[in-house]
Structure 1
Amino acid sequence: MMSSLLLLLDDIATIMDDVAVMSKMAAKKTAGVLGDDLALNAQQVSGVRAERELPVVWSVAKGSFVNKVILVPLALAISVIAPWLINPLLMVGGLFLCYEGVEKVLHTLQHKKAKTAEEAATQLALTEAQLHNMEKDKIKGAIRTDFILSAEIIVISLGTVATAAFVTKVSVLTVIAIAMTIGVYGLVALIVKIDDMGLYLTEKTSAAQQKMGHALLAFAPILMKTLTIVGTLAMFLVGGGIINHAIPLLHHFTEDAVDHLEHIPTVGSIMGALTPTLINFVIGIVAGLLVVLVVTLIKKLWPRTKTP
């Protein structure tokens, strides 16, 4: 009886050790996507009222947990039943990210900036219902984006543990899903409250704390603008990267381009390192524009009938 218990404990310890090692490997491989996830979600939840920032982040975080509850079993099931489905599904997600990126750029270009103080006041004077709808739209958009990025992270993690036992696969995916959700949305919550921390410090009596508070207040809008730009770029880079890896012709073209550029004297290594990112970016923009074009044509051919 005692020997059986010791063997069981030894097996559990071995599995836990494997899970720890593989989780670390998966975390390293998904670090780039996690960075994009952070930038995207931080800019997605920006622009809401100060008192609603943390509730919005919490709502998106809950939606993200639901995404993981759906995606982890789904990824495991697909990897067993129909592994060939993973790439097409990821490609659909990549196209959606590219489409969202183009939509954001077009919205920014079409959005009219206020030329006078009166126009600015009119734009800011939204009704409670309008603010509520805007908040709901932001939450839905952030959860949709999170779903696609989470799917890519889980698929990358699944590839890391492809040869492991089923229990180890489940454990690693669960650890990665929980850790990345807590980490990303914890940082998002911190980012959106930087201005509040700055305001709090400016009200302190210490000159050093006041100086730090003013610095944070000056830094907060710069950070949010930067994250907005980085978040939009990330949509093209992640979406284009998914499409690039899913289509062999594009993937081989990227590898050949890197091989040729790396032979250029002096700057070859730098150009070789930057080329995949630039190609993914171009693919993302082109794919997004094509999807927008197709969606626009479909809307024109089959317009929605408005109910009276």
Structure 2
Amino acid sequence: MSGGLVALLDDVAAIARLAAASVDDIGAAAGRASMKAVGVVIDDTAVTPRYVTGFSPNRELPIIWRIARGSLRNKVVFILPAALLLSQFLPGAITPILMLGGAYLCFEGAEKLYEAVGGGHHAAPQEQEAALGSTDHEQKMISGAIRTDFILSAEIMALSLSEVAGEPFVSRTIILIVVALLITALVYGVVGLIVKMDDLGLKLAKSGVGAARAFGRGLVKGMPVVLGALSVIGTAAMLWVGGHILLVGLEEFGLGGPYKALHGAAVAAGHAIPALEGLVEWLVETLGSAVVGVVVGGIIVALMHLRPGRKAAH
């Protein structure tokens, strides 16, 4: 009897050790998968603050929270099941779907450029002020942010999936859920901090003393510049991420000439400046991807604006 109990306890201990090892493996794999997608995470963080620009301070965090919920829903409810099913039964379909998403990002970025140079419709100041305070405008911005997030989330999940493709199905699922939770919390936690820094600065400027008050005034003056810069970075991110997706997708379809040429130019530029080799390679490859994004997005924007009724809509 006691021997049977000891054997049972040994079995339980072995199962516990196996479970602990599995948890460690899943945690390590989730970490690797998250790191592989870190470039897209930065893009996602840069894109989002522009969707709350112009709203009153008391609406900023609720809007970010709604976008964060939409982002998590994108990853867990829509993208994760589709990615797992495709990777299991139709892996060849993932690349074309990602390329469609990349083309959409190129379109969004090029559309912003088109509007910035005066091609878009601009409302009068009174109309803009009324629109910013409206529920419809808030919902429109949230919906737009979640649509853009869907493409970036798809790339994040696809990159993460490629890192853990060799894992068993259940482990792969758990790892990707962990990645989705971690990255969503990271992106929208950072976004929330960014957009509320000016409020913190105002509070310090009013109630702080000495250096704290000066720091607060600096935040108040500096955050509009930071938010404006993030808006520009967000638009650029759409273009370079979209262009990169298209280049990599073409390479997977056997049309690797453009990507190989760009990568070769980036490596050559990096070798020319050994002290900054990694940075220079990244800058050249990013700039080249952005040029591809501008060209592809510009073509789509031109086609969209040539549609019958489009001009009238503006």
The two structures have a TM-score, normalised by structure 2, of 0.86
Q: Which runs of 5+ in 2 are unaligned?
A: 1-7
Q: What secondary structure is seen at the aligned counterpart in 2 of 1:15?
A: helix
Instruction: Provide the rounded CA distance (Å) in 2 between the counterparts of 1:246 and 1:305.
Output: 36
Say if 2:247 is the partner of 1:238.
Answer: no
Instruction: Provide the rounded CA distance (Å) in 1 between the counterparts of 2:255 and 2:50.
Output: 30
Q: What secondary structure is seen at the aligned counterpart in 2 of 1:193?
A: helix
Amino acid at match of 1:34: V
Specify which of 75, 85, 99 is matched with residue 93 of structure 2.
Answer: 85
Q: Using the TM superposition, give the Cα deviation of residue 267 of structure 1 relative to its aligned residue in structure 2, in angstroms.
A: 4.0
Specify which of 301, 305, 313 is matched with residue 292 of structure 1.
Answer: 301
The equivalent of 1:210 in structure 2 is 213
Q: Using the TM superposition, give the Cα deviation of residue 10 of structure 1 relative to its aligned residue in structure 2, in angstroms.
A: 2.1
Instruction: Provide the rounded CA distance (Å) in 1 between the counterparts of 2:282 and 2:198.
Output: 36
Q: Is the 8 A contact 1:45 1:142 kept in 2?
A: no
**1:79-228 aligned within 5 A:** 79-110=87-118, 120=125, 122-123=126-127, 125-126=129-130, 131-228=134-231
Specify which of 72, 75, 79 is matched with residue 68 of structure 1.
Answer: 75
Return 285-294 or 237-246, whichever deviates more: 285-294
- The count of residues paired between Structure 1 and Structure 2 equals 298
Q: Using the TM superposition, give the Cα deviation of residue 16 of structure 1 relative to its aligned residue in structure 2, in angstroms.
A: 1.0
Return 61-70 or 248-257, whichever deviates more: 248-257
The equivalent of 2:41 in structure 1 is 34
Instruction: Provide the rounded CA distance (Å) in 1 between the counterparts of 2:138 and 2:202.
Output: 24
Q: Using the TM superposition, give the Cα deviation of residue 165 of structure 1 relative to its aligned residue in structure 2, in angstroms.
A: 1.6
Q: Is the 8 A contact 1:45 1:56 kept in 2?
A: yes
Instruction: Provide the rounded CA distance (Å) in 1 between the counterparts of 2:129 and 2:45.
Output: 30
Return 232-241 or 59-68, whichever deviates more: 59-68
Q: Which runs of 5+ in 1 are unaligned?
A: none
Instruction: Provide the rounded CA distance (Å) in 2 between the counterparts of 1:77 and 1:17.
Output: 25
Q: Using the TM superposition, give the Cα deviation of residue 287 of structure 1 relative to its aligned residue in structure 2, in angstroms.
A: 0.9
Say if 1:206 and 1:109 are closer, same or farther in 2 by CA, change over 3 A.
same
Q: Using the TM superposition, give the Cα deviation of residue 233 of structure 1 relative to its aligned residue in structure 2, in angstroms.
A: 0.1
Q: Using the TM superposition, give the Cα deviation of residue 2 of structure 1 relative to its aligned residue in structure 2, in angstroms.
A: 2.3
The equivalent of 1:4 in structure 2 is 11
For residues 76-107 of structure 1, the C-alpha deviation after alignment (integer angstroms, 9 at most, x for no partner) is 11100111110011011101111111111122
Specify which of 59, 62, 74 is matched with residue 55 of structure 1.
Answer: 62
Q: Using the TM superposition, give the Cα deviation of residue 162 of structure 1 relative to its aligned residue in structure 2, in angstroms.
A: 0.9
Q: Using the TM superposition, give the Cα deviation of residue 305 of structure 1 relative to its aligned residue in structure 2, in angstroms.
A: 12
Q: Report the identity percentage.
A: 34
The two structures have a TM-score, normalised by structure 1, of 0.88
Q: Is the 8 A contact 1:259 1:272 kept in 2?
A: no
